[in-house]
C-alpha cells in the first residue's frame, strides 16, 4: 500500500526517527551514547544553538572554552546544562551513576573528581567584591552539599537565594 509508506514517512518527519533525537517541540531524549557536541542526537532536528554558532559535532569542552572564555563569547556556566558539560569533558553517565541507573549522586561522588570543597571554592572566587563566593558560604563554609544547587537532570538553582536576594546564575 503506497499510502501506508507515505504515512510512515510523515510520522518519521513529524516525530523523529527512533533513536535519532526528540520529536520537534518535545523534551530531548537522554541518550547515554550520544557523541559529545552532537546536539541533534538527543534534541532532534530542532536548532538549539544560535544560527551563527560554529558546528559543535565532535567537539569537547576544551574546544568550547576556546570561544566561551567570557571575552569572545559568554562563559557556559549559565548557558549549558551540567550534564552537557560533563559529557563534553568525557564523563559518562556511568562514571557518576555507579549502578548505571538514574540513582542519586551525592557530594562524595562529586568530590572524587572535584577533590574538595576548598579546592572548588578557590576556583570560584568572585572577580568583584560585591558578590560572595558561592562555594564558601558564611553559614556552611565549604561543606554545603553540591546537590543543594547543582542538578544534572533538572535546572540548577541558587540555594542561597531561598533566603537572600541574589541573582547569581548557577550552572
Quick check: is 51 in a domain? no
- Number of structural domains in the chain: 2
d(CA 153, CA 150): 9
Element (H, E) at 62: helix 61-67
Task: Judge whether 114 and 145 are in contact, CB under 8 Å.
Answer: no
CATH number at residue 113: 1.10.1130.10
Quick check: is 13 in a domain? yes
Q: Do residue 25 and residue 94 come from a single domain?
A: no
Residue 13's pLDDT is 39
Quick check: is 145 in a domain? yes
pLDDT tens digits, 127-143: 777 778 888 888 888 88
Quick check: is 159 in a domain? yes
Residue 166's pLDDT is 63
Quick check: is 101 in a domain? yes
Residues 6+ apart with CB under 8 A from 91: 113
Q: Do residue 145 and residue 87 come from a single domain?
A: yes
Quick check: is 116 in a domain? yes
The string of DSSP letters for 94-123 reads HHH-TTSSS----HHHHHHHH--HHHHHHH
Higher pLDDT, 24 or 143: 143
Give the mean pLDDT of the chain. Answer: 76
pLDDT tens digits, 68-83: 888 888 888 767 888 8
Q: What is the mean pLDDT of residues 98-108?
A: 73
Q: Do residue 41 and residue 116 come from a single domain?
A: no
Q: Do residue 98 and residue 142 come from a single domain?
A: yes
**pLDDT interval class at 24 (50, 70, 90):** low
Q: In terms of residue numbers, what domain contains 5?
A: 1-46
Q: Tell me the pTM.
A: 0.67
pLDDT surpasses 70 at 159: yes
d(CA 161, CA 94): 32
Q: Do residue 97 and residue 159 come from a single domain?
A: yes
Task: Judge whether 103 and 97 are in contact, CB under 8 Å.
Answer: yes
What is the SS3 assignment for 141?
A: strand
Q: Do residue 19 and residue 74 come from a single domain?
A: no
Joined together, the cell numbers standing for residue 9 give: 514517512
Q: Do residue 112 and residue 164 come from a single domain?
A: yes
pLDDT surpasses 60 at 6: no
Quick check: is 54 in a domain? no
Joined together, the cell numbers standing for residue 159 give: 540555594
Helix ranges (DSSP H) in the chain: 2-15, 39-43, 61-67, 82-88, 93-96, 107-114, 117-123
pLDDT surpasses 50 at 5: no
Amino acid at each position: 500500500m503506497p499510502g501506508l509508506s507515505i504515512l510512515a514517512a510523515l510520522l518519521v518527519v513529524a516525530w523523529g526517527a527512533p533513536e535519532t533525537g526528540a520529536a520537534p517541540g518535545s523534551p530531548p531524549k537522554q541518550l547515554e551514547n550520544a557523541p559529545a557536541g552532537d546536539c541533534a542526537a538527543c534534541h532532534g532536528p530542532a536548532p538549539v544553538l544560535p544560527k551563527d554558532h560554529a558546528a559543535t559535532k565532535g567537539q569537547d569542552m576544551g574546544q568550547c572554552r576556546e570561544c566561551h572564555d567570557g571575552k569572545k563569547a559568554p562563559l557556559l556556566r549559565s548557558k549549558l546544562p551540567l550534564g552537557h558539560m560533563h559529557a563534553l569533558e568525557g564523563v559518562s553517565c556511568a562514571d557518576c551513576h555507579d549502578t548505571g541507573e538514574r540513582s542519586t549522586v551525592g557530594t562524595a561522588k562529586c568530590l572524587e573528581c572535584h577533590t574538595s570543597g576548598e579546592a572548588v571554592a578557590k576556583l570560584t572566587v568572585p572577580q568583584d567584591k560585591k558578590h560572595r563566593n558561592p562555594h564558601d558560604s558564611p553559614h556552611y563554609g565549604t561543606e554545603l552539599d553540591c546537590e543543594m544547587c547543582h542538578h544534572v537532570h533538572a535546572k540548577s538553582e541558587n540555594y542561597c537565594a531561598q533566603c537572600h536576594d541574589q541573582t547569581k546564575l548557577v550552572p
